[in-house]
Chain A
């Protein structure tokens, strides 16, 4: 079945450093790739997304890249801050469903 693999499962960085989370999807029909942030005790919220006809998208300190040939996509957070600490989920959408990766718990140490 369709699958999205996400790495690493846990990531600890120093405040100000960059963080990179990588995902791989299996369903060739996927054409939309959102990223969600879930803070402790809260619901997941969309932080950035990218469509299959775009290779890169940036929004302030966060950026996403997509390699559709390799079925890889990544989230980059620069100049990390303590409030970036949360669980981040990548996802792939196609065929009326969105499949999520297992999540990456990001710790930003002050």
Chain B
């Protein structure tokens, strides 16, 4: 089956602009998580969506937002871009079994969207 698809793969923006990134999860996966990856900082958790609901959010400013659609596809938006927002944004989908925190959460990552802010 098809993997996690992220678009666009590369983009260049200038400070103050906004950007929208898209993620299509593996068919049947209902959970989508977003991460920011920068050199030396590893993978920083942005947010997680399940059935169109944001269930958890990382420590990022309100300029970072997201949503999930009924077909599980997800988008994230960054407004008023800053130089420090330059990063690889990774989306990961998972098939959550059970409810609450007791289920395993095997993440399958997309190839990422590399954002450069000038």
Name A residues whose Cβ lies closer than 8 Å to a Cβ of B.
1, 6, 29, 31-32, 34, 36, 43-46, 49, 51, 89, 93-103
Q: Give the 4 A-B residue pairs with the shortest CB-CB distance, closest first.
A: A102-B42, A96-B55, A100-B43, A43-B109
Q: Which of A45, A94, A98 contacts B33 (CB 8 A)?
A: A98
Please measure, in the bound complex, the distance between the C-alpha atom of A49 and the C-alpha atom of B103, giving whole angstroms: 13
Please indicate the chain B residues that have their CB under 8 angstroms from the CB of A49 in the complex. Answer: 104, 106
The SS class assigned to the A binding surface is: strand
How close is A12's CB to chain B, nearest CB, in angstroms?
Answer: 18
A-B contact count (CB 8 A): 62
- Please state if B48 and A1 are interface contacts (CB–CB under 8 Å): no
Q: Which of B104, B110, B112 has the most CB of A within 10 A?
A: B104
- Please state if B105 and A93 are interface contacts (CB–CB under 8 Å): yes
Please measure, in the bound complex, the distance between the C-alpha atom of A34 and the C-alpha atom of B108, giving whole angstroms: 12
Known: A31-B102, A49-B104, A89-B42. A97 touches B56 (CB 8 A): yes
Please measure, in the bound complex, the distance between the C-alpha atom of A32 and the C-alpha atom of B110, giving whole angstroms: 21
Contact with A along B46-81 (1 / 0, CB 8 A): 001010000110110000000000000000000000
- Please state if B107 and A46 are interface contacts (CB–CB under 8 Å): yes
* 4 more CB-based (< 8 A) A-B contacts, given A96-B31, A100-B35: A32-B105, A45-B109, A97-B33, A103-B42
Closest to A1 in B: B59
How close is B105's CB to chain A, nearest CB, in angstroms?
Answer: 5
A-B residue pairs in contact (CB < 8 Å), sample of 7: A32-B105, A43-B109, A44-B43, A45-B109, A96-B48, A96-B50, A97-B48
Please measure, in the bound complex, the distance between the C-alpha atom of A96 and the C-alpha atom of B104, giving whole angstroms: 10
Closest to A6 in B: B42
Known: A97-B45, A97-B48. A44 touches B101 (CB 8 A): no
Q: Which of A34, A43, A51, A101 has the most CB of B within 10 A?
A: A43
